[in-house]
Amino acid sequence: MDCHYVKKDIESLKEISAIPVTMRRVLEVLQDESASLTDLSDVIKHDQSLVHKVVSTANSPYFSYCRKINTIEQATMVLGFDLIKSIVFSIAVWRDISGKDSSYMKRLWAHSFEVAVLSSIIGGEIYEPYRGICFLGGLLHDIGRPVLYTLYKDRCSEVMDREDILSAEYEVFGCNHADTGNWFLENTFLPKEICLSVKHHHHFNGLMEHKDIVISVNLAEAMLSKLSSTAGHDGEWDANKEKIFLDAGLNNNFLSDIEYIFRVQKENLKAFFELS
């Protein structure tokens, strides 16, 4: 398959007629630069499961806020409108674009959640305020995989269980899921650092812009292959990743801490994203 066709198909997938109604209305508001919090609240208030997930996410430790948040309005005051828009988008896109009944999608969601947790721990260690944005970068890092699955379900069976998933995707689609994720997210309202994290989550040769955030997601993806038994991994920890880890000012003590923190947090928060 030629990657130009894939890019074209992604453009048509992004057309609002192709996506479910809540997501369509959320996207319309999010892409309107003059939209206010009231506009966003009006759209999502009828979708209580979405509101619940957004408020729960704002209450999670990844956003480092101690007082209980009960409403979208409080969450916005604490985290800022830009971060709330990204949270709403991340949750809505996963829920609506990927469907609910496929075990493959459930595996991908579990994997993305784990990368989000780990990215926020690594990003927070590099610089505390990066915690929230790294969580969202991790949550969306593999969004190119459900995009490919949505468009080409049959052909995805040729790549989904391959260990060398990136080469397999090139063979079948002429591009990989980091490309398709980037094409799906480009020209949206999302902060550039999230798009760069998606685009470079496997390789980031020579990238300088928002490098610490990109590194956090990149390392989390690779490190998870050592830490988690959940299926759906597509990263690999090797000498090159270890060098990136050390060059970022992180050390082996932190690596041991991560193993502990990650296991405890993952268990505590499984129910939060309905993974159990």
Q: Which is nearer to Fe ion, 83 or 224 (CB)?
A: 224
The Cα 59–Cα 79 span in angstroms is 10
Q: Which is nearer to Fe ion, 9 or 179 (CB)?
A: 179
Q: Report, in Å, the least distance between residue 47 CB and Fe ion.
A: 27
Q: How many residues bind Fe ion (CB under 5 A)?
A: 3
Applying CB under 5 A, which part among 85-93, 99-107, 126-134, 213-221 lies near Fe ion?
A: 213-221
Q: Which is nearer to Fe ion, 179 or 221 (CB)?
A: 221
Q: Which is nearer to Fe ion, 53 or 141 (CB)?
A: 141
206: left (phi over 0), alpha (psi -120 to 50) or beta: left
In this structure, the chain runs to a length of 276
**Residue 234 lies near Fe ion (rule: CB under 5 A):** yes
**Residue 169 lies near Fe ion (rule: CB under 5 A):** no
Tell me how far the alpha carbon of residue 163 is from its chain's centroid: 21
Closest alpha carbon to 8 in 178, 170, 166, 183 = 183
Q: Scanning residues 105 to 164, which ones bind Fe ion (CB under 5 A)?
A: 142
The Cα 110–Cα 151 span in angstroms is 21
Q: Which is nearer to Fe ion, 36 or 102 (CB)?
A: 102
Residue bearing tokens 């927070």: 124
Are 224 and 235 a contacting pair, CB within 8 Å? Answer: yes
Q: Report, in Å, the least distance between residue 75 CB and Fe ion.
A: 27
**Residue 179 lies near Fe ion (rule: CB under 5 A):** no
Amino acid at 192: K
- The C-alpha angle with vertex 266 and arms to 165 and 67, in degrees rounded to 5, equals 130
Tell me how far the alpha carbon of residue 155 is from its chain's centroid: 23
Q: Which is nearer to Fe ion, 47 or 169 (CB)?
A: 169
Q: Report, in Å, the least distance between residue 236 CB and Fe ion.
A: 11
Q: Report, in Å, the least distance between residue 177 CB and Fe ion.
A: 6
The Cα 269–Cα 61 span in angstroms is 10
Applying CB under 5 A, which part among 20-28, 63-71, 210-218, 227-235 lies near Fe ion?
A: 227-235
Q: Which residues are at the interface with Fe ion (CB under 5 A)?
A: 142, 221, 234
